[in-house]
Amino acid sequence: CTSSEYKLMLSYAVIMCLVYPIGVWSTLLAWLWSFRKRLDPAVHRNIEESRVIQMRKQDEVLRDAPITTVALKFKPRYWYYECITLARRLLLTSVALMFTSLSYMTIFVFFLTVITLIIDKECEPYQRRWTSAFMYFLDWQLVFFIEAVIMMDADIISGAGAVATSSVLLATNLLLVVIVVIDQRGDMKREMRESEI
């Protein structure tokens, strides 16, 4: 830990942490912040959410700024939610690796997934109801996965039980893919019918 190579790599790691996890997240938030009045004009005026969504679709400034596409899938008052999603991903992938103890890392990941599950359920930030339901189900999948890993590490389940648990998680994920494909087809047909009218 005292070699010059270690110090060089440590410096590189610190710079990359500033560039990617902190820099990308803060840049995305700042960029979206500059469009906040167009992404959620109801904050400043008393406008219904459905009307705001229509206004956003017709707003040329939002159409010309590609960065706003990450915010348009959310309800107007949750225009910033992609930043929350990105922060969660960074916490689950990068910060979790900073723990030196497996037990502390597991507690951190479990706590974070439960908190984000509650936030996703309470906010239901996506415009499409099925997307919110799908994300909620994926949040539960994360919790179940962590519980399965904890049980396998503690030798509560092993052998056939571990295979069965993994198989159920895999089957559930495959079922989700089928549900999403069917739902997307239904949404596309609905949108085509509405555009014809």
Tens-digit pLDDT profile for residues 52-69: 888 888 889 998 998 999
Cβ atoms of residues 90 and 25 within 8 Å: yes
Token pair 């910033």 is at which residue?
A: 80
Of 36-40, 98-102, 133-137, 176-180, give the lowest mean pLDDT range.
176-180
Tens-digit pLDDT profile for residues 72-96: 999 999 999 999 999 998 888 888 8
Tens-digit pLDDT profile for residues 103-162: 888 889 999 999 999 999 999 999 888 788 888 888 888 888 888 888 887 788 878 888
Note the pTM of the prediction, 2 decimals.
0.75
For 117, the token pair is: 């599950």
Question: Any idea what DSSP says for residue 155?
Answer: T
Helices (H), the chain: 4-17, 25-33, 36-39, 49-58, 60-64, 69-72, 81-93, 102-123, 129-153, 160-196
